[in-house]
Structure 1
Amino acid sequence: MKKYSILLYYHYTKIEDPELFREEHHLLCLKLNLLGRIIVAPEGLNGTVSGLVEDCEAYMAAVKADPRFEGIDFKVDYAKEHAFTKLHVRHKPEIVHAGLRNIDPTERTGVHLSPQEFKEMKDQEDVVVLDVRSDYEHSMGKFKNAVTLDIENFREFPEKIDELKEKYEGKKILTYCTGGIKCEKASAFLLEKGFENVYQLHGGIIKYGMEAGGEDFEGKCYVFDNRVAVEVNKVNPVVISKCHVCETPSARMVNCANPHCNLHVPICESCGTKMDGACSTTCQEHPDKRPYDGTGYYQKNTNGYNPYKGLNRRKTEQPKAV
């Protein structure tokens, strides 16, 4: 039985005192025994957390009770255990690092498409399906025939605008990402740069898998928690990622056993055993190589972790152990 929920969410809204909000939000998460990563910025809230189903229900109700987040859309999945080992609630300039602070998605952004609307439009002749995620994400999985970008992180997206205009100006552009947050700014930026027909998949790949069966999404969807990658396509699934060592099809993501490399790539079980968890012979022979247990996942050291770190107001009662 899956007793835990995993929440993925964001909401663009003005937060007048983001540091105070961050403090209060941190305390709320501690009270509800949630773990995960949350970003608070003057432009809104972005997070992915895990917790017991009833605690996550209470969290969602508390967030929606704030008029600023009345329209927030939570993507909810379920698991047998926490998807995180720590809680971090941070104040940053943007809720997704794009370097586009002048872009306000609450004023103008691409037309939001439901998963079913996206599914009906994506194969039309005058449509370009644009993946705005990083290369390590779309190498694991992407929509069939999607245009992908050679970028290491989302803040490089604006550098691709001239290339996109040269190839696709005049087309209908359907943007997509994991949960929808990157598309808010990507689609708004495309409109600012002269594209006229811009759309975005509301709720991203995750919602598309939940509500439209994930049809034509090839491979797995990379996620930013301990699951690493999740199944999306229940209709016509295929594996598109290849083993870093032997190049056979593999969706098994691991971290290189050499902590100084820590490369995050697909490595099949056979090569994982043969290379003892390393991505190369050099890493396999490194004196600091970590013991390989067959998973390729290495728990981060939580020694000294204090869930109250960063709070101005300390409570004497410590959070319940989970």
Structure 2
Amino acid sequence: MSGTHIAFYRFVRVDDVAAVCARLTELTDGLLGTVLVATEGVNGMLAAPSERIEEFVSAAACDPLLSTAFDGMVYKRTAYERIPFSRTLIKAKREIVPLGVDGLDMPARVDDVAATDVPPHEWRELIRRDDVIVLDNRNSFEFGVGRFKGAVDPGVVNFRDFRDYVEQHAPQWRAEGKQVAMYCTGGIRCEKSSPWMQDLGLQVHQLQGGILNYFKEIPDADADFEGECFVFDNRVTLDTGLRDVGRERSEIDG
């Protein structure tokens, strides 16, 4: 069964998390995937036949309760042949992606995040500079499946561990005058990290839209990226052409 997979997130103030969850539960009837909602925003992945996905996108954008978050939302669309998800889950959370830094008000830091964005067509030149540390903002398992050439693996298991790694290395990076260029799968982990890293006195850059956006925008992405990109659904990995490689999770777990 073929269809469209969408990945999306937005840091925006959500006043009534329970009400937003309830409305999303109604609008995602017939779709599969997960949407997380917190006071700091929304983060989701959904899959369905293409026409049903576009119905959701249109409805969410003009819904009185959801439009603040969903009108103008950036969606990353990929086609699928294998159904990516087996259920639908709409869930309220403390954070839509858990960095675990107290007092980090992401909706108030949107402009700071935007200032760190590097468009895909500028990324290649940036990561080849000698004064830049290329930092993978994912876990070691994901890094092992595929990575940008020359990138550093922070050696983390969970995203919360990334904070400890950065705090340990920030003094050295500052002393050496190093800038940090980081990337993740779709951008959300980098966006969550970047204002906090700026507060540490680091000059930070992040790949706009993450690895998947780079694959979409750069035809020869395989010149910079080795391996495949792990994705959090039943497709397991995508190649640099955003194609399902056909792997099973057991092939890469060992």
Which TM bucket (shorter chain)?
A: 0.7 to 0.9
- For the 8 Å contact 1:253–1:265, the answer to whether it is kept is no
Q: One-letter code of the match for 2:250?
A: N
1:178 correspondence with 2:175: no
User: How far off its partner does 1:255 sit?
Assistant: 3.2
What residue number does 2:18 align with?
Answer: 19
Change (3 A) 1:143 1:233: farther
User: How far off its partner does 1:162 sit?
Assistant: 3.0
Q: Provide Cα deviations, 1:69-101, integer angstroms capped at 9, x if missing partner.
A: 333211000012421110011000000122125
How far apart in 1 are the matches of 2:74 and 2:216?
Answer: 13
How far apart in 1 are the matches of 2:33 and 2:90?
Answer: 8
Equivalent residue of 2:122, what SS? Answer: helix
Q: Provide Cα deviations, 1:166-209, integer angstroms capped at 9, x if missing partner.
A: 442222211110000000121112111121x2111111000000
Equivalent residue of 1:255, what SS? Answer: helix
Change (3 A) 1:59 1:120: farther
How far apart in 1 are the matches of 2:4 and 2:247?
Answer: 23
How high is the sequence identity, in percent, across the aligned residues?
Answer: 32
Give the gaps of 5 or more residues in structure 1: 235-250, 257-263, 267-322
1:98 correspondence with 2:99: yes
2:166 pairs, out of 161, 167, 185, with 161
Larger Rg: 1
How far apart in 2 are the matches of 1:99 and 1:89?
Answer: 21
How far apart in 1 are the matches of 2:250 and 2:35?
Answer: 24
How far apart in 2 are the matches of 1:63 and 1:222?
Answer: 28
What residue number does 1:139 align with?
Answer: 144
Equivalent residue of 1:26, what SS? Answer: helix
Q: CA RMSD for the aligned pairs? A: 2.0
How far apart in 1 are the matches of 2:171 and 2:247?
Answer: 36
1:56 pairs, out of 53, 56, 74, with 53
1:149 correspondence with 2:154: yes
1:210 correspondence with 2:216: yes
Q: One-letter code of the match for 2:101?
A: L
Runs of 4+ in 1 over 4 A off after TM superposition: none
- For the 8 Å contact 2:41–2:69, the answer to whether it is kept is no
User: How far off its partner does 1:126 sit?
Assistant: 1.4
TM-score (structure 1 length as normaliser): 0.70
Q: Is the helix fraction higher in 1 or 2? A: 2
How far apart in 2 are the matches of 1:100 and 1:59?
Answer: 33
- For the 8 Å contact 1:218–1:233, the answer to whether it is kept is no
Change (3 A) 1:167 1:141: farther
Change (3 A) 1:174 1:158: same
Equivalent residue of 1:186, what SS? Answer: helix
